[in-house]
Structure 1
Amino acid sequence: MTPSRRELLAIAGTTATMTAVGGWQTVAAQETDDLPEYSQWLTIDDDGLEFVYVDWANIGDEVITDLEEAEPDEEVPEEYEEDPMVAPASEGLLEAYFFLGVDLAQYRLGRLLDAEGDFESTVEGLLRTTDAFVVTGDIQPEEIDDQLTAEAEIEFFRQLERTDEIGEFDVYTPVEGNDAAVAVSTDALVVANGEDDAPEATLETLVDAWEGDLEQATEESESFAWLLETAGDGDVVVGQYGDRVAATDDALVDMAFAELEDAEGIVSSITAENEDTASGEFAAIIDGPDEDALGERLGASADQRSITIVNDQVVAAGTWREVE
């Protein structure tokens, strides 16, 4: 069975030069010196990192259309749920979309993704980490200020006030409580919710990294930089590194596949090439990878796929095509 367009938004692959390793067709890792722009927000905290990135400017309209057309009881075929190149990216896309629409609604920002709404701000990218949510694009600080500082007419809404600055960002915190903080500039909107009563510290870490005043994850770890260079460029990208690999507590996506449990880091991305075809890339660093098990698992749902394993570096690619 091949996926529908909605399912294509959740699967991965690419084309590449083929060789042969361990009995499986393989693909030479495609590396680039260019790191994705969203990587500038990422830092390694407590020996771990987890993120979801969505290139909303490229796929936003299609995502909204597909969600509106989806049947309430529609199920994703089991073959996709069991594919590490499919399920995590699909879960990550929905995680980012619904977090903005639902969680940010309490700040009256839930309709930022509505192209026909009242906001003049336009969204280009969505980045979800374990501690914060970043919206990048052409942000209009004045209209965001109006929403954040408006009086809470009902209990669900929260009123914030401008209390500080971090670099070029204005910082807002709740009039009542200290469990959230929002930073706003003309290029980005950053929201931190924290039960540790330190959301402003989270904002400071993110903004300092973005502005180059704090060591970024790709600077701290060559391994993580390699993962992003190899598989971090796509419409939807998910990644786990260090202690966040196969995380079960507050995980953004489920990457707890037995074949990947010993990985140092994993990055998987998808790209909707057109209405009928999706492609993407997968990269992992695993000490003593099981070539046969990985060959059975990675991209098993794809129409075409390729895998290469060189020492501890695992690269996979696949292409999915929709048929009538």
Structure 2
Amino acid sequence: METIVVTGAAGFIGSHVCEALLAEGYGVIGIDHFNDFYSPAVKERNWEAVETTAKRLGAGGRLRLFRSDIRDAGEMEQVFASAPVDGVIHLAAYAGVRPSIQQPLLYTDVNLNGTLVLLDILQKHQVKRLVFASSSSVYGNNKKIPFSEDDFVDKPISPYAATKKAGELLCHTWHHLYGIKTACLRFFTVYGPRQRPDLAIHKFTRRMLAGEPIPFYGDGTSRRDYTYIDDIVDGVMRALAWTKGEGSRFEVFNLGESNTISLSEMVRTLENVLGVRAKLERLPAQSGDVNVTYADVSKARRVLGYCPSTPFEEGIRRFVKWMNEQPQE
């Protein structure tokens, strides 16, 4: 049995990844700080769902959790000394473009120093497989559409984007120096059950159901490549398997739907699914927000066999079903 460390294990993407690993027979060591970036109770429920899945699969003995901070080298040493580790899926980070502009020092500390601590531990414990969560934000206001992994990405427009690009560079350095086989995954606007409450689809749904106005930035023409969580998890699992291959391996992959939805279209879809008319609080476009994200996923299709398959409206229906089952914060 292989054992995989998942950082950010109680988060939106992390909790789903843990469940997928358990379903495929892996041992899972989760790391999460349960900080107050958003309500810790949300993460507690996410982790309870992982534990429920483990019990259903008879995999309780394959699951462990460390409530630790990736910036703390001593705590990370305890994690990696607790059992032989075969690979790491590094999802832990402070996320979000707008809050990173308000708290750039915090974002740099967690996203870069935390990643450095983790890379150092990988080297010390001779862990040779890494999947790193990057972001579509690294593309900035790229003029070439769709975005390709070979595009120039040295002009980020938010501290968050800068930390993700820098994280890719750090991963490459450790790959070069120590032979860590690494897949850097640029996620494109992930949504679905357990989505963070501060993200647009979750926030809009909650406010629309409560009859409250939703913040509508710009003229509604900004576009995002919304990607359903199941498709992202499939890509993560494929990337992990790819790191087990022969030879020196370092690649960057886009994981998106390869389709764009405008802000106005997203709101109309929510209206259709919820049966509720949105009240718009019109606001100016925000600094750091990009105009469009659009993934060219041909490389991930060719190399990983990645094939996103969830239509946007179907994904929204699944999200709303989950949302209606949740306690309200």
Structure with greater strand percent: 1
Between 1 and 2, higher relative CO (CA 8 Å, sep ≥ 6) is seen in 1
Alignment TM class, shorter chain as reference? under 0.3
Compute the TM-score of the two structures, normalised by the length of structure 1: 0.25
Structure with greater helix percent: 2
- Give the structure with higher Rg (CA): 1
